[in-house]
Amino acid sequence: MKNYKLNIHEFETFNKNKYIFDNNQGIVIPSSKEISYVVNNFQKPKETIVRDLEVKFGTQKSDAMSIYNYINDLISQGMFISQDSEVISCKNISYKDVLRSPSSQLVLILTEACNMRCKYCIYSDYYPGIKSYSNKDMSISTALKAVDKYILFHKEKQRMGILVEPSITFYGGEPFLKFDVIRAVINYCEQKNFKAKFFATTNGTIMSNEIIDYIIEKDIHVAFSLDGHKENHDRNRVLVNNSPTFELVFENIKKIQNKRNHVNKKQVLIFCVTLDLETDVEKIVNFFDENDALFSPYIVRYNKVADFGTNYYNNQDLKNNVLSKSFNKLYKKFYNMVSDEKSTKVTPALKSLYSSMFLVSYKQKFSGNDCKEMCMPGSKVAVSPDEKIYVCEKVNQSCPIGTLDEGLCLEKINSLANRFINIINENCKNCTVSRLCEMCYAQMICKDDLCFSEMACKNTFSAIKNSLTTFYSLLENNEKIAETIFSEKNI
């Protein structure tokens, strides 16, 4: 067969059952040694394949013909085989394309200052390609100017039929250092009758009673950076003077929850936990489980310290990987729990830790032939104190795509998108799980440009493989796991 090129990932569950993930269609099918042989040798003549099945595997001729016809039908539907010429294309992105994207978010980077010096922070000396902290603050006038632009933008999206709810996120540095700006923005939106959801990401150390009362009154969704129990949190998350912060953050969380309970107002807490090789993740989960009554309702988001573009791990023992050991130990507990069809009680911290393996089965998959089906620059924007517009808060030091005065610059958006796509076409066209990959602009930032990270790619590929194996192992033991434990609503 001309230009025969397989685009599959074969894997085996813990029960030794075989499957094939088709990277063309995003479908997983049960496999066997016979099916695998036909798929991997389909370029051979039909007669040869049927005879090989009879000789190599002792398959009856009628069964061999059935297997061949089954695979032939799937291939005729576009599965398994891709052409060498197939690449992701990126035609000119128009303003209408940006408007049609299914997201709408404004991120206000209120300050580049912070009262903490977390040892893994991207502004630290461990990230030589990123500039350090600064005293740049966003003025109230700049924030309201950004809100005005966003209101107009969101109304245009609504006229295009995109009915997504608008959201405004306060980011930093430490955003509550600019509490006056936060309050001004929310009051302004109320005056404009602009009903947006408000979010804030905070280190939780400067929560005055006034701030706490305002968070509760205005229903601000707060994400706390809390690395679990005291020992682990204080290992990295310290103030400028190197003082630990756990007790301060924990007390402020208790204040918020107690006041919410007092006014009978429930609000989902978000916890951002950063992991490195020295993290005992079992202790992290136990910490959240022990405080379930205090934190509830809550979710936990886990992120590993980036292992590219940094020398953070130079001081850690790569051979004694506590994170991996504890993760595997905790997995046994999780596996036994969810394998029982009657078990629906999986704590939020444990569920969040393994939710990524379920995402591979249902998350939105782009077709792989148009950059407009991936992250659309401009649909979510981050505005810096100097009024520059960026793709997101994680790409806020390089690659601007406009300014508040000029608006979105389509030339810069197209330039950024095409540089991203060129990297994908150059490095990912032979990947057998690219459809499930979530590599984005933020993971390709390299000083003032985009670049490909071999290490990030390797780690992402390994994570996807493990997710497929683990999730289908769980499905074999509990076919209802998707609806009872990992429903889209729960995640």
Q: Which pLDDT score, from 0 to 100, does residue 374 have?
A: 61
Torsion of CA 38, 40, 42, 48, to 10 degrees: -60
Q: Please, which residues bridge with residue 22 across strands?
A: 8, 27
Q: How far is CA 121 from the centre of its chain?
A: 18
Q: Using the structure block, give the residue that is written with the tokens 């991120």.
A: 107
Average pLDDT across each block of 10 residues of the chain; the chain has 491 residues. List them in order: 80 94 90 96 95 96 96 94 65 87 93 92 75 84 98 94 94 96 98 97 96 96 97 96 97 95 90 94 95 94 82 80 85 75 72 74 51 73 95 80 95 90 87 86 78 85 86 82 60 44
pTM: 0.88
Q: Encoding tokens for residue 349?
A: 């911290």
Whole-angstrom distance, CA of residue 256 vs CA of residue 250: 10
Whole-angstrom distance, CA of residue 438 vs CA of residue 460: 8
277 within 8 A of 318, measured Cβ to Cβ: yes
Q: Which pLDDT score, from 0 to 100, does residue 373 have?
A: 53
Q: Encoding tokens for residue 232?
A: 């682990």
Q: Is the peptide bond before 166 cis (omega within 30 degrees of 0)?
A: no
Kindly state the greatest CA–CA separation across the chain: 79
